[in-house]
Amino acid sequence: MFTFALIIIFGAIGCFLLRLYTLLPRAAAPKALRSSRSSCRIAVFLGSGGHTSEALSMLSSLDFSRYRPRTYICSEGDLLSAKKAAALEAAKAAEVPSHPVSPSH
């Protein structure tokens, strides 16, 4: 009877330690940071309501030469958001003519 109790106790402790091991974060090598000169892809989700204006306002403050390509995602019927995104791209292209804008479908 005493042996059975010890097996149960050690089994429970073993299960607890195994579960704790699986939950603890792994010590991995830190990822290298991007250099400030490298480019970075960005996707912008546009929606109806005030979300499009907020997203495009935040996006307009970014350095467009660094954040490229830019992908805009909006619903099929949301033509106004698509037009606003195209207008922002055109305005930024006029500021920095070295990066031509190619339309995406």
Tell me, what's the pLDDT at 91? 92
Q: List the domain range (segments joined by +) for residue 57.
A: 42-95
Q: Which one, of 70, 69, 72, 96, lies nearest residue 83 by Cα?
A: 72
In a domain, 23, yes or no: no
26 in a structural domain: no
The radius of gyration of the chain's CA atoms, rounded to the nearest angstrom, is 26
What mean pLDDT is reported for the chain? 83
What gap in Å lies between CA 69 and CA 103, rounded to an integer? Answer: 11
Cβ-count burial of 55 within 10 angstroms (0-12 exposed, 13-18 middle, 19+ buried)? Answer: buried
- Whether residue 1 lies inside any domain: the answer is no
Alpha-carbon distances, residue 75 vs 22, 31, 50, 72, 90 (angstroms): 40, 35, 15, 10, 21
Burial track 5-15 (b if 16+ CB lie within 10 A, e otherwise): eeeeeeeeeee
73-104 tens-digit pLDDT: 988 888 899 999 999 999 998 885 555 555 55
Give domain status of residue 30, yes or no.
no
User: Does some domain include residue 29?
Assistant: no
Residue 33 lies in a domain: no
- Structural domain total, the chain: 1
In a domain, 61, yes or no: yes
- Among candidate residues 58, 25, 30, 61, the one with its CA nearest the CA of residue 44: 58
Confidence band for 29, pLDDT divided at 50, 70 and 90: low
What is the value of pTM for the model shown?
0.57
Query: Considering the domain boundaries, does residue 25 fall inside one?
Result: no
